[in-house]
Structure 1
Amino acid sequence: MKRLNSPCQFGLLLALALGALPYLLTGELAAADPPKHVLRAGAYAMDITPTKFPVSSSGSMTHRTADKAHDPLHARCLVLDNGDTKIALVTCDSCMIPREIYDAAKQLASKSTGIPTDHILCSATHTHTAVSAAPTFQSLVQEDYLDFLTQRIADSIVKAHSQLEPAKVGWAIGNNPKQVFNRRWFLRSGTPIVDPFGNGTDTVRMNPPPNSKMLLQPSGPVDPEIPILAVQAVGGRPIALWANYSLHYVGGVPSKSLSADYFGEFARQFAKLIDADKSKPAFVAAMTNGTSGNINNTNFFEGRIRHPPFEQIRRVAEDVAASAHVAYQRIEYQDWVPLKMRETEIELGVRRPDEAELARATMLIKEAGPGPWTDRSLIYANETMDMAKYPATVQMKLQAIRIGELGIVSSPCETFVETGLAIKKLSPLKPTFTIELANGYNGYLPTVEHHALGGYETWRAKSSYLEVDAEPKIRETLLKLLDEVAK
């Protein structure tokens, strides 16, 4: 037996023995670190295509119906759980969805999954060829579709939650300036700009004739960014991709057809690019709408070639998916990230008509007789009469999310691109992207400066009725929420 050479050696051995005694008595060894949280994710695309036709189809100033679906409509859902917090993101192939439907769907999903309702973000893509779920202009709401839609949105969350598995996430920013164009233009001096109220005060025109001699310059910028959030299983199998692009929609769909527009085609194209179109469980790609209230796919500088139905949708989706794929290849994945989500409500004023405006509208409709109408002055006269019945104020939900260093904000409006660019610039999280038409529908959100310019997006109607200074109030609230989740 080796002899201890000093009292120090003996003391050291005694201390080690006493320190290990509790673990020797219990037969356990001390853990070096507390158990690490595991990030889990699940995704599911729930079919929300109507089962009966014909149906009312939204996205037009006049009522129209569809007798078939060219491609399926979906409610695409991603659920993330980091052990501390669960959140759900849902995007639906719909033009716009009222808050009441989202609220009811969230309640149903929360009961089944335990995800708090204020940790669920639901949005519409703004395809103009979906089933009418919200009243706008002369489109009739497809009432017998609403319960079905509500349940399917809830089911998408429940199904995604049931597929939670250990996962890793990452993000990057793609870029594609070729498919986005500002649609509000200044025209050459002396070019008349007509509005449906007879005011003659507009200084910009929405969607003027492309490559026309009357064109001067667009009234604002575009946002070419394509932020993406990618989710993989720990072994590398793709689970989901959430993308964001500020493009209103593409169109080129026959009037009697439903379609998810380029949003649905993007999902199919991207899945093929990463060989995930046959993954089990099914890979889910989703394109959310950014701030595209004044942005569309028409190149007003040069014009656009007219293609057969659905061809422009395919071309745009293919191009944007390719740009997203380039960014996808730069992603560095993390097996755990902080998740935070904040929700608040704000109250905003409503632009209601005064007595003179209401009297004019009432006279026009009386002289014209019952609708439907094709004359814009009559369509907006009817809107004026509807707006007289609106409350003086409305409540809206705003949300902010942190996923690692990625930020997401949402609003229930068709938001102008200037707002999105300002939020991205000032956000404490990089990157940050904005999801519009979320958790309800409150019409267009022009900036104060654009209200002064006039134009379609500012014309008072069910599609544009918030107070003139609503935009700075919404923007400032979203930035405050981002500060909260970034801490």
Structure 2
Amino acid sequence: MKQSLLIVLSLGFLVTIAKTERPQNEINAGAGLVDITPTGEVTLAGSPSPKKTSEVKTRLYVRALVLSANDTKVAIVTLDTLKYPVELTVKARASIEQATGIPAANVIICSSHTHSGPLWPYYPDKLVTPITEAVSKAAQDLTPCTLGMARGRAEGVAECRRVIKDGHAWNRWQLKPDESDKYPAEAPADPDFDLLAVRSADGKYKAILYNFACHAANNRAPLISADYPGDVELHVQKALGYPVPTLFLTGACGDVNPIYSVRRDLFQERLGGEILHCLERLEPMAKPTLAIDAREFQMPGREHPEFKEAEVARNWPGQLEHYRKAYTSMKEREKPSYLYSLTGIRIGSDFAIVTNADELFCSIAMDIKKKSPFKHTMTVEQTNGAHGYVPSAKAFEGGSYETWFGEHSYLTTKAADIIEKQSLEVLGKLRTQETKP
């Protein structure tokens, strides 16, 4: 710590007081962890034909990181669950503000999208209390820390799950095994990811954040699991030799899945191994200031929704009645527009996070990152709400279930353009704020 002398006049005497100044490379940071692993049999979410189990592969958690600098506090929360809806996000953020004083607008809550855990109704208060507890623990854990940034690359574990066959989009699992690699992918997958490491004064990591674009659907057995993010965390902790919360911020993976033809533990080696390499080549953050731009607006609903019976019958004949019911149910609940949250967080001068509340197609986020004014940009989906798939314009042309109107796809076909525009506006505003004298 640096110290300066402050001289004041008190009752006719000169008094010299030692004033402690925070080094410019430090930020106050705290981490919190709450176990939400089910204790009995649950229905695993994320499939038209869900399975039940009580067997645990990896434990489920709420993880929280609180950062505090220049009179600004932000809370970054990750949930090991499939999704978390807008109305519950509003309750949880309000509860956090009441418990910690951190403004609700300064809280982001990101679901990992694991397909191997229960949905929120399983929990007594729908996860509001454990989310609040995790952030409260993090807020009470605030200590001076340093930050480091890096970009990693994990190849050979994820791929665009949609291929074009006879002019139509098909998911790879709908084709015969010998056909799945026969047709061209509709769009790219993104092997690159950004990482932020938080280090305590004792040299140990207090928390690690990373952002990777791939569905958390690598668990191939009916087990309770945090999926590959849980495997990766255990791999990193084992190598470091001590437990450290590894917060997985879900990348834009609406059309990206694990490569199922490779062995399951490859994620640990490729993604977990690359995270460890990132820790070896961290770029120190010289001035970890904080800024946030949170906005809410109304996102239009789908234009002229219709039931794509011919498409469903062709692509997924066994699920025709499932998708008919999904269409009818959503049609009954349809709204002209939906409350939508989008948040940008700037940490230092070269690192930013921008969120959306969807299963965003990967190419959209890749465009945002390419146009971002920051060296490191995390595009984080499934955050502060769950509004279903947002396909690209090209994907709407190809069709298939991510584009069919229903519970999982009901926003305007222009949602991708709106999210990209709003995201870049937020990032631009955060950059302008950072460069002001």
TM superposition score normalised by structure 1: 0.79
Q: Aligned with 2:288: secondary structure?
A: coil
Contact 2:28 2:142 in 1 (8 A): yes
Q: Show the counterpart of 2:128.
A: 150
Equivalent residue, structure 2, for 1:429: 374
| Residue in structure 2 matching 1:477, options 407, 419, 422 | 422
Shift of 1:374: 8.9
After superposing the two structures, state which structure 1 stretch, 66-75 or 339-348, moved more.
66-75
What secondary structure does 2:214 align onto?
A: coil
Alignment of 1:412-427 (within 5 A): 412-427=357-372
Deviation at 1:332, TM superposition (A): 3.1
Q: Return closer, same or farther for 1:335/1:25 CA change in 2, 3 Å cut-off.
A: farther
User: In 2, distance between residues paired with 1:432 and 1:464?
Assistant: 26
User: Match of 1:203?
Assistant: 168
User: Residue 33 and residue 156 in structure 1: after superposition, are their counterparts in 2 closer, same or farther (change >3 A)?
Assistant: closer
Pair 1:339-2:339 in alignment: no
Write out aligned runs for 1:182-261 (5 A).
Answer: 182-187=160-165, 189=166, 203-207=168-172, 208-212=175-179, 215-255=182-222, 257-261=223-227
Higher alpha-carbon Rg: 1
Q: Deviations over 1:365-385 (max 9, x none)?
A: xxxxxxxx9931101110111
Measured against aligned partners, the alpha-carbon deviations of 1:394-447 in whole angstroms (never above 9, x if no partner) come to 111001110112011111100111111111111111110111100110001111
The TM-score normalised by the length of structure 2 is 0.88
Mapping 1:461-472, distance limit 5 Å: 461-472=406-417
2:256 to 278, 291, 295: 295
Range that drifts further, 102-111 or 471-480: 102-111
Q: Which runs of 5+ in 2 are unaligned?
A: 1-6
- 1:318 is aligned to 2:318: no
Conservation of the 8 A alpha-carbon contact between 2:8 and 2:15: no
Secondary structure of the corresponding residue to residue 139 of structure 2? helix
CA contact (8 A) 2:157 2:266 kept: no
Deviation at 1:254, TM superposition (A): 2.4
Once the two structures are superposed, the pairs formed by residues 90-239 of structure 1 within 5 Å of their partners are 90-133=77-120, 143-145=121-123, 147-187=125-165, 189=166, 203-207=168-172, 208-212=175-179, 215-239=182-206
Structure 1 residues 213 and 415: alpha-carbon distance in aligned structure 2, compared to 1, 3 A threshold: closer
Q: What amino acid sits opposite 1:58 in the alignment?
A: A
The alpha-carbon distance between structure 1 residues 131 and 33, as it changes in their structure 2 partners (threshold 3 A), is closer
Work out whether 1:57 is the aligned partner of 2:44. Answer: yes
1:62 partner letter: S
Q: Which shifted more, 56-65 or 437-446?
A: 56-65
Asked if 1:380 corresponds to 2:331, the answer is no
Question: Offset at 1:131?
Answer: 0.4
SS in 2 for 1:379: helix
Is the CA contact 1:44–1:160 (under 8 Å) kept in the aligned structure 2? Answer: yes
Matches of 2:127 and 2:339 in 1, distance apart? 23
| Counterparts of 1:112 and 1:335, CA distance in 2 | 31
Q: What is the aligned partner in structure 1 of residue 75 from structure 2?
A: 88
Q: CA contact under 8 A between 2:42 and 2:117: conserved in structure 1? A: no
SS at match of 1:68: coil
Instruction: Give unpaired runs (5+ residues) of structure 1.
Output: 1-19, 134-142, 190-201, 278-282, 365-372
Inter-CA distance 414–28: structure 2 relative to 1 (3 Å threshold): same
CA RMSD of superposed structures (Å): 2.7
- Partner amino acid for 1:125? S
Is the CA contact (8 Å cut-off) linking 1:70 and 1:258 kept in structure 2? yes
Contact 2:215-2:254 within 8 A present in 1 as well? yes
Paired with 2:373 and 2:8, the residues of 1 have a C-alpha distance of: 49
Tell me how far apart the structure 2 counterparts of residues 213 and 238 of structure 1 sit (CA, whole Å): 41
Deviations 1:174-223 (Å, cap 9, x if unpaired)? 11121121111112x4xxxxxxxxxxxx6211124444288231111111
1:21 and 1:125 map into 2 onto residues whose CA distance is 53
Q: Which amino acid aligns with 1:220?
A: A
Flag the structure with higher strand content.
Answer: 2
Partner residue of 2:236 out of 244, 259, 270: 270
Residues 80 and 111, structure 2, Cα contact 8 Å, conserved in 1: yes
Structure 2 SS opposite 1:399 = strand
Match of 2:3 in 1: none
**Percent identity for Structure 1 against Structure 2:** 27
Counterparts of 1:147 and 1:238 in 2: how far apart (Å)? 32
Would you say the 8 A contact 1:39–1:83 is kept in 2?
Answer: no
Partner deviation per Cα, 1:66-125 (whole Å, 9 max, x = no partner): 233332100111111114211111111111111222221111111121100111110111
In structure 2, how many angstroms separate the alpha carbons of the residues matched to 1:448 and 1:420?
Answer: 14
Q: Deviations over 1:122-177 (max 9, x none)?
A: 011111111023xxxxxxxxx34251512111111011111111111111101112
Mark the CA change 1:211 to 1:460 in structure 2 (over 3 Å): closer, same or farther: same
SS in 1 for 2:168: coil
Q: Which residue of structure 1 lines up, in the alignment, with residue 247 of structure 2?
A: 286
